[in-house]
Structure 1
Amino acid sequence: MAVTCTTLEEVRSNIDRLDQQIVTLLAERGQFVSQAACFKKDTDSVKAPQRVEQVIAKVRDLSHSVGANPDVTEQVYRAMIAAFIQLELAEHAELTQTSPKN
């Protein structure tokens, strides 16, 4: 739960603290995305639209339970997932180019 701030500087300091945590978590999430590229056979499995919608539904539900705005959460997650898909597509392409052909 957020603390009640008494100054704009205090608000900004708390936002900066949260940004540090969010970026750290994004880095960790990105490492798992990179690992996922190894397990996927083709670009369709990288894009995985059904999985995207599962994640969106999950985080919208989570938003309700923690008091976040579900629309904001969905927009942030859609942008984040799109960026990670682009990263994963590039990594997947690199893996398929460098793997030995059978």
Structure 2
Amino acid sequence: MPINLTDVRQKIDAIDKQMFGLMARRGEYVKLAAKFKTTEAEVAAPDRVAIVIEKVKKIATESGADVVVVEQVYRKMIAEFIELERRELKERH
């Protein structure tokens, strides 16, 4: 258990490293999903975004995470991954 601010920061840094690895893996799947999409509408997929947001809010609640923080982080992450998919789509056309 952390006993001082330095320990807390080291724990946060370790968690960040794990999160970056997971985000990289998620990004690879986003690129893969982009290969199945042929239109801008399929990339934007607002219905899918809404489903994902509701799902992560539920998981956040169940896990004790701050729902507002989780929702905002996911909205930003999804927006950036959508931009990645748009670039992938543009490169193919």
Question: TM-score by structure 1 length?
Answer: 0.89
> What's 2:56 paired with?
59
CA RMSD of aligned residues (A): 0.7
Aligned equivalents of 1:86, 1:65: Cα separation in 2:
30
> What's 1:100 paired with?
none
Paired residue total? 93
> What's 2:24 paired with?
27
State the one-letter code of the partner of 2:37: K
Query: What percentage of aligned pairs have identical amino acids?
Result: 45
2:93 is the alignment partner of 1:89: no
State the one-letter code of the partner of 1:94: E
Aligned equivalents of 1:6, 1:37: Cα separation in 2:
45
For residues 9-42 of structure 1, what are the alpha-carbon distances to aligned partners after superposition, in whole Å with 9 as ceiling and x for unaligned? 0000000000000000000000000001110120
Structure in which a larger fraction of residues adopt helix:
2
Which has the greater radius of gyration?
Answer: 1
Question: Which ranges of structure 2 fall in alignment gaps of 5 or more residues?
Answer: none
Q: Secondary structure at the match of 2:65?
A: coil
> What's 2:4 paired with?
7
Question: TM-score by structure 2 length?
Answer: 0.97
Q: Secondary structure at the match of 1:41?
A: coil
